[in-house]
């Protein structure tokens, strides 16, 4: 009886040890897989340790919203292809400066990407106005030049947010080179004055941060490339089309060459950008045609 009991105990003990060993191996393998997925989630496209890491942050302009194939042909991708950078684009449509600040403060993907980046292009600010529910009221007030208190209150908040974004990025990565893109003006006629005021307050916020971090922040004159060029603007009268993305890429490449971070100033186009028909794709007929007519009438694109 005693011998049988010992054998039974040994069997259960050995079985327990076997399964415990297998469990530990599976746990170890699972942990390795989880780590690999975690690393991959933060990796830059074309990750190569010998290449500089290029990160885009900000709004729909940086995302490439004006074309149908932004992953292949937005200006960030063009810059990365031209200079052979590892590339990551974390810009998103309709993003405000407050949302960008919140992400860089608390979202691990954004924080890790900022830590790993050598060069960061950022386009942000216009949506602080455009995404507000009272945007029409603000625009009309700015056009007429009355009741500007709210307009400049938003401008002051943007200035504070932009500086805080730079503080957060440079706390994570003191050696980062940040390319701050100016806001171009894409409207004409009556609406042009409103857009110019918006571009001015964005420039003021950028210059304020530039004065604080002159060794890290460099201004890319996107406005100089885009303003006054209707041929660079997408069907929605706001975003860069395929040609506009090439023009912005030229501005970025010129600045990078000036900083010694690239040698090419002529963009390498691996994939042609595909322009989109925003109104007809976004709204059923005849609403798309009607909205297109009204927007182009108000923004100076009808004639």
pLDDT tens-place string over residues 219-254: 999 999 999 999 999 999 999 999 999 999 999 999
Considering the domain architecture, whether residues 7 and 64 belong to the same structural domain is answered as: no
- Which range, of 20-29, 162-171, 197-206, 292-301, averages the lowest pLDDT? 20-29
pLDDT at 14: 46
Tokens coding 269 = 């186009």
- The pLDDT value given to residue 15: 42
What average pLDDT does this structure show over 100-123?
98
Last residue of a domain, one of 9, 24, 42: 42
pLDDT tens-digit series, residues 54-94: 999 999 999 999 999 999 999 999 999 999 999 999 999 99
- With DSSP H G I counted as helix, E B as strand and the rest as coil, what are the percentages for the chain, rounded to 5? 60, 10, 30
d(CA 113, CA 106) in angstroms, rounded, equals: 12
Q: What is the mean pLDDT of residues 13-31?
A: 42
| DSSP H stretches of helix in 173-302 | 190-212, 222-226, 242-258, 278-282, 287-299
Which residue from 154, 180, 159, 171 is spatially nearest to 251, judged by alpha carbons? 180
Same domain, yes or no, for 210 and 99? yes
Confidence of residue 303 (pLDDT cuts 50, 70, 90): confident
Torsion angle, CA of 136/138/144/149, rounded to 10 degrees?
A: 170
Give me the chain's average pLDDT, please.
Answer: 88
User: DSSP assignment, residue 286?
Assistant: T
- pLDDT of residue 23 exceeding 90, the answer is no
How many domains does one find in the chain? 2
Same domain, 33 and 111: no
| Dist CA 211 CA 171 (whole Å) | 17
| pLDDT (0 to 100) of residue 42 | 58
CB 56 within 8 Å of CB 93: no
Bridge partners (DSSP) of residue 120 are: 55, 178
Band of the pLDDT at 10, cuts 50, 70, 90?
Answer: very low
Rounded to an integer, the average pLDDT of 162-182 is: 98
Rounded CA separation 13/124 (Å): 63
The helix/strand/coil state of 182 is coil
Q: Are residues 11 and 100 in the same domain?
A: no
Write out the two tokens for 191: 């609406």
Using only the alpha carbons of the chain, give its radius of gyration: 25
Q: What does the pLDDT average to over 19-30?
A: 40
**16 pLDDT exceeds 70?**
no
**Which residues span the domain enclosing 28?**
1-42
Pair (3, 72) in one structural domain: no
Whether 13 and 133 map to the same domain: the answer is no
pLDDT of 138 higher than 60: yes
**Whole-prediction pTM value?**
0.85
Q: How confident is the model at residue 25 (pLDDT cuts 50, 70, 90)?
A: very low
Q: What is the CATH number of the domain that holds 158?
A: 3.40.50.1110
- Residues 24, 76 within the same domain: no
Instruction: Please tell me whether residues 23 and 91 are part of one structural domain.
Output: no
DSSP category for residue 231: G
| pLDDT above 80 for 12 | no
Instruction: Give the C-alpha separation, 222 to 244, whole Å.
Output: 10
Same-domain check for residues 4 and 78: no
- On whether both 258 and 176 belong to a single domain, the answer is yes
| pLDDT for 146 | 86
pLDDT of 21 reads: 46
> Is residue 89 domain-shared with residue 38, that is, in the same domain?
no
- Token output for 97: 């400066």
Joined together, the tokens standing for residue 300 give: 């100076």
Q: Are 110 and 88 in contact (CB under 8 A)?
A: no
| Domain match, 169 and 28 both | no
Report residue 49's pLDDT band, with 50, 70 and 90 as the boundaries. Answer: confident
The answer to whether residues 62 and 123 touch, using CB atoms and an 8 Å cutoff, is yes
């Amino acid at each position: 009886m005693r011998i049988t009991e010992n054998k039974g105990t040994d069997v259960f003990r050995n079985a327990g040890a076997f399964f415990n060993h297998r469990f530990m191996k599976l746990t170890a393998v699972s942990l390795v897989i989880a780590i690999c997925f975690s690393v991959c989630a933060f990796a830059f496209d074309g990750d190569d340790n010998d290449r500089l890491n290029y990160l885009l942050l900000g709004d729909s302009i940086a995302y490439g919203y004006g074309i149908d194939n932004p992953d292949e042909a937005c200006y960030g991708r063009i810059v990365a292809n031209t200079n052979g950078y590892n590339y990551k684009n974390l810009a998103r449509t309709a993003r405000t400066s407050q949302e960008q600040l919140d992400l860089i403060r608390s979202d691990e993907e954004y924080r890790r990407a900022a830590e790993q980046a050598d060069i960061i292009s950022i386009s942000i600010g216009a949506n602080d106005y455009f995404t507000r529910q009272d945007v029409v009221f603000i625009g009309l007030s700015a056009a007429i030049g009355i009741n500007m208190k709210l307009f400049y209150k938003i401008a002051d908040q943007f200035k504070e947010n932009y500086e805080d974004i730079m503080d957060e990025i440079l706390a994570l990565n003191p050696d980062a080179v940040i390319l701050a893109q100016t806001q171009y003006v894409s409207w004409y006629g009556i609406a042009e004055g409103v857009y110019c005021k918006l571009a001015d307050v964005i420039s003021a916020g950028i210059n304020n941060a530039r004065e604080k971090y002159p060794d890290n922040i460099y201004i890319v004159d996107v406005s100089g490339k885009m303003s006054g060029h209707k041929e660079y603007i997408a069907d929605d009268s706001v975003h860069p089309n395929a040609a506009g993305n090439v023009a912005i890429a030229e501005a970025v490449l010129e600045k990078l060459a000036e900083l010694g971070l690239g040698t090419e100033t002529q963009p390498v186009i691996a994939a042609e950008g595909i322009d989109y028909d925003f109104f007809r794709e976004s709204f059923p007929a005849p609403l798309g045609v009607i909205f297109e007519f009204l927007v182009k009438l108000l923004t100076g694109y009808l004639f």
